[in-house]
Amino acid sequence: MKPAEPTDVRLNEPLLPTGRGELSGRTLRALRSRPGPESALPVDAAVHEADAYGEDLHLALYLCYELHYCGFQGVDPAWEWQPALLGLRADLERRFLDALRRDTEDRPHSADEAFDEILVEPVNGTGLTHYLRDEGELWQLREYAAQRSLYHLKEADPHLWVVPRLRGRAKAGMVAVEFDEYGGGRADRMHSRLFADLMTDLGLDTTYGRYVDAATAETLASVNLMSMFGLHRALRGALVGHFAAVEVTSSPASRRLAQAMRRTGAGDTAVHFYAEHVEADAVHEQVVRREVVGGLLEDEPWLEPDVAFGVAATELLDTLVGERTLAAWRDGRTSLRTPL
């Protein structure tokens, strides 16, 4: 079969999504107006009463973060640094971060112990990618890709924020891995482009932000996690832990997803995206563990508990995504808020 032509990731400013409650609804109304101190943003009480992992809070936080990426159609770019919105974002982040710290308080506090917990996979795995490899149907792979598009169409971007906060071995190792994520200088090999090719094989829309309204709270939270870690210098250790957790677990998960794509006849480019990650991320894992994590902790050993926290928070949210998705599929329902 002739390889498909590379698919452009359509990076025009996306449309604003639909609100999911008071926090996201009021944030959306404010973003449609001109930025100013009089903008009617949500109040502190609404943030404190919101579910820390709920869809209303995480859509509001996603809206705040996306202003640092592609923005939204019809939204004044000045909102990116509007003081009142930054204050709201800080409140949302505090609520989210407090919950993550509380729910991972039993985590290991050394980096080696944190990685030991995720390096060994059970013989009879029951996770999301195991299900897709063994039982998944094409419609489920399409749903999986639609949700993952919230990250993969900007793959590596949230992690790049940490580069100016690192030095020496950690910085050099991080840039080396990110260079691969961006295709080694070739636009057609950027991982975001490869994921757009996968989406085309699956009959999905490659427009950036297209599936935000369909994404669950858990998916929004997992995407917000990397933006939160990346945008805060104080959380640079957690970002490195998050990035390392992604790279450590990516190769075996990608192998299962490539097998799922082949078994369901998803298409050559759909298979290629995950097959590419099997080899690339096996190499990245070693660079991240030895150079990025090792270099960071050599320079700033006091950040080790933060690295471990980043690993634990990543695993916590990945587990929540998998549990919600599998519960829906095993009940014969769509895993999305709105079906494709």
Residue 154 counted as domain residue: yes
Residue 145 counted as domain residue: yes
Q: Which tokens hold the place of 187?
A: 């636009």
Kindly state whether residues 99 and 133 are assigned to the same domain: no
Kindly state whether residues 32 and 83 are assigned to the same domain: yes
The pLDDT value recorded for residue 67 is 97
Average confidence (pLDDT) per 10 residues, the chain, 340 residues = 45 88 94 82 85 98 97 95 94 98 93 85 78 96 98 95 97 95 92 95 96 98 98 98 92 93 94 85 83 97 97 96 97 95
The model's pLDDT over 149-158, given as tens digits with 9 standing for 90+, comes to 999 999 999 9
Smallest Cα–Cα separation from 6: which of 210, 272, 329, 185? 272
Smallest Cα–Cα separation from 119: which of 285, 258, 291, 279? 285
Backbone phi and psi for residue 207, each to the nearest 5 degrees, phi listed first = -65, 130
The pLDDT value recorded for residue 281 is 66
Angle between helices 83-103 and 217-231 (to 10 degrees): 110
Kindly state whether residues 75 and 167 are assigned to the same domain: no
Kindly state whether residues 166 and 309 are assigned to the same domain: yes
235 burial type by CB count under 10 A (0-12 exposed, 13-18 middle, 19+ buried) = buried
Kindly state whether residues 129 and 29 are assigned to the same domain: no
The pLDDT value recorded for residue 130 is 95
Kindly state whether residues 300 and 157 are assigned to the same domain: yes
- C-alpha triplet 130, 134, 136: angle, nearest 5°: 90
Do 70 and 14 meet the contact criterion of CB atoms below 8 Å apart? yes
Q: Which tokens hold the place of 182?
A: 């961006």
Residue 249 counted as domain residue: yes
Kindly state whether residues 139 and 233 are assigned to the same domain: yes
Kindly state whether residues 183 and 319 are assigned to the same domain: yes
Kindly state whether residues 263 and 301 are assigned to the same domain: yes
Strand partners, 10: 207
Last residue of a domain, one of 103, 127, 157: 103
Kindly state whether residues 202 and 159 are assigned to the same domain: yes
Residue 37's domain comprises 22-103
Residue 7 counted as domain residue: no
The model's pLDDT over 260-276, given as tens digits with 9 standing for 90+, comes to 999 999 999 999 999 98
Angle between helices 217-231 and 236-264 (to 10 degrees): 140
The pLDDT value recorded for residue 44 is 79
Residue 10 counted as domain residue: no
Residue 240 counted as domain residue: yes
Cα–Cα distance, 270 to 201 (Å, whole number): 6
The pLDDT value recorded for residue 121 is 67
Backbone phi and psi for residue 212, each to the nearest 5 degrees, phi listed first = -60, -45
* pTM for the whole structure: 0.93
Smallest Cα–Cα separation from 56: which of 27, 23, 88, 87? 23
Residue 338 counted as domain residue: no
Last residue of a domain, one of 53, 84, 103: 103
Cα–Cα distance, 224 to 180 (Å, whole number): 23
Number of domains in the chain: 2
